[in-house]
Chain A
Amino acid sequence: MHDTAISLIELGAVFFGLGLLGRLAWKIGISPIPLYLLGGLAFGSGGLIPLHGIDEFASLAGEIGVILLLLLLGLEYSANELVTGMRRAWLAGLLDLVLNALPGAAVALLLGWGPVGAIAMAGVTYISSSGIIAKVLGDLGRLGNRETPVVLSILVFEDLAMAVYLPILTALLAGATLMGGLTAVGVSLIVITIVLVIALKFGRYVSMLVDSPEPEVFLLRVLGAALLVAGVASQLQVSAAVGAFLLGIAISGSTAENATKLLEPLRDLFAAMFFVVFGLNTNPTTIPPVLGWAVALAFVTTLTKVATGWFAARQQGIGRMGRARAGAALVARGEFSIVIAGLAVAAGAVEDELAALATAYVLLMAVLGPVAARVVEPVARGLQRKLQPRPA
């Protein structure tokens, strides 16, 4: 009984502290993700005040957090949007993939983390944070801008790429050979195709299966289905997160909207826990040695994302200022970089420094992203003036 009391006090303190941090973050106009990570670092092993007794709950909550993050990501898009998004953004999407995955992979190889570490770091630097970006675009009143659909299409492409990438990563982390990896790619491509077809043609039936006019029943069904699918997917080595993502895509229409509304607060709660757990499991003393690399990666991948956005916006005939805005909007990395690093570290197949590097990198990019999106216009205007001096 006594133990329960202490656990409750600790858990309460953590949640309350996160609440304060979250409020602070939005007030100064950045994403709360880096602050949650810092909170985790402070309370983990080697941190300021190590907490014990909530590990079990926290790690399970973190797992659920990942599942909800991906489920809601899937709910956000209809299968139609995924297909048209793919068609519209494939060239820019491929450029995005190459430009932004390479720096991460290169650094991992330089640090001697091997091919598996390289593939994990490639994912960490590649994937933009759709959560941060959507929020920032809304806050800055840029949803009506002409470059915004370009940005959103690239995010759609990235999220689909995640659905292919995560099973491959899971297979590689489980120690599969090259042959095994290729099989995983094949299997995941087939599964995604099947799910897209089901969602396009029979999305109604999947929705009917979970739908209910009673919010309570509906919540239990959706959450239950998500955990079941995620568990089965994880048992089949396809990664729990992808299972949840695909379920999200298959649920469509008003069911998806209602599910999003019901699950959003739950996701925010459990996802916050997930970031804290990631921070808890990272020893802060491992960060300083990789900090230089993190800064270098942040610098390079800021430029590569800006280049991606610039290219994609130019393809759609958008002016220079709009191209700069599209590039800067894509800079933020966040939740999914940590999801990838979390998977890699949990599997134990990569160095512990990977967690440290990913943490430091996301700390930088989650702060830098919103700032870049905000300052891009004045900076671009300043550059323009410098490059084209007025004849005296």
Chain B
Amino acid sequence: MNVEVTPLPGLGTRQDFVSRGGRRIGVITYRDGRMEMIVSKQDDTDSCVASIPLTVEESATLATLLGAPQLVTQLEEQNRDISGITTRQLPLAPGSPYDGRTLGDTALRTRTAVSVVAVVRGGTAHPSPRPDFRLSGGDMLVTVGTADGLGKAVEVLETG
């Protein structure tokens, strides 16, 4: 992927790439750390249809949303030959009983036989998290298990 980095003198930097559909998609990073997501117009790629200011937390959440499915697809491909095993991404909503507690506290493995193979946070995957891994709202848990177990795991994460 060809990401173009353009300095904006006095303001910050623009980083963007051209999507297959011909739109420029990117991020403006201001000197003071503020971020803005930009999407160019379809008919005039020089100009933007939207520039959306994002807080650090919001951009991390967006990155997680965009980054997690890829990891899940990869895992699914690896596990395709093993029948009965499913890979899913489960969100940990802010305000969940486990927001701020460790992975061990959920006792997911014991209660549902589901394994957490990675936690995606802020666009970065933390693979094979240990039981002392502290969860926080907005995390995406990449899990492997039976369809049944995964259904139970969703409940556990939501209601404790």
Contacts and interface: CB of A to CB of B under 8 A. Distances in A.
B31 interface: yes
A156 interface: yes
10 contacts: A82-B9, A142-B47, A144-B38, A149-B6, A152-B10, A152-B11, A261-B32, A321-B44, A322-B47, A325-B46
Contacts of A145: 46-48
B91 interface: no
Contacts, number: 74
Interface in A51-95: 76-77, 81-82, 84-85
Contact of B48 (A85, A130, A141, A153): A141
Most A CB within 10 A of own CB, among B32, B38, B44, B47: B47
Contacts of B51: 141, 143-144
Q: How large is the interface on A (under 10, 10 to 19, 20 to 34, 35 or more residues)?
A: 20 to 34
Contact of A319 (B8, B26, B32, B46): B46
Given A143-B28, A143-B36, A144-B40, A81 B48 contact: no
A76 B30 CA distance: 12
Given A144-B26, A144-B51, A257-B32, A134 B10 contact: yes
10 tightest Cβ-Cβ pairs between the two chains A and B: A144-B38, A322-B46, A146-B46, A76-B10, A81-B9, A144-B48, A141-B51, A152-B9, A144-B51, A145-B47
Contacts of A107: none
B88 interface: no
Contacts of A319: 44-46
A96 interface: no
Contacts of A148: 8
A145 B7 CA distance: 12
Contacts of A141: 48, 50-51
A144 B10 contact: no
B36 A77 contact: no
A287 B128 CA distance: 76
Contacts of A130: 10
Given A144-B38, A322-B44, A257 B31 contact: yes
A155 to B, nearest CB: 8
B121 interface: no
| Most B C-beta atoms less than 10 A away, residue of A145, A152, A321 | A145
Contacts of A149: 6-9, 14
A318 interface: yes
Interface string B12-54: 0010100000001010100110001010100011111011000
A155 B48 CA distance: 21
Interface of A: 76-77, 81-82, 84-85, 130, 134, 141-149, 152-153, 155-156, 257, 261, 318-319, 321-322, 325
A77 B46 contact: no
Interface of B is mostly: strand
A169 B31 CA distance: 34
A107 to B, nearest CB: 31
Interface string B109-133: 0000000000000000000000000
Nearest to B52: A141
Contact of A144 (B7, B9, B31, B36): B36
Interface of B: 6-11, 14, 16, 24, 26, 28, 31-32, 36, 38, 40, 44-48, 50-51
Contacts of B28: 143-144
Contacts of A152: 8-11
B10 A77 contact: yes
Contact of B11 (A85, A134, A318, A321): A134
Contacts of A82: 9
Nearest to A321: B44
Given A144-B51, A152-B8, A322-B47, 12 more contacts: A81-B9, A82-B9, A130-B10, A141-B50, A143-B8, A143-B28, A144-B28, A145-B48, A146-B24, A152-B9, A319-B44, A319-B46
Nearest to A147: B46
Nearest to B48: A144
Nearest to A84: B7
B7 A325 contact: no
Contacts of A144: 14, 16, 24, 26, 28, 36, 38, 40, 48, 51
A358 to B, nearest CB: 25
A147 B14 CA distance: 12
B26 to A, nearest CB: 7
Contacts of B31: 257
B36 to A, nearest CB: 7
Contacts of A257: 31-32
A148 B44 CA distance: 14
B36 A153 contact: no
Nearest to B39: A144
B45 A146 contact: yes
A91 B127 CA distance: 52
Nearest to B31: A257
A141 B51 CA distance: 6
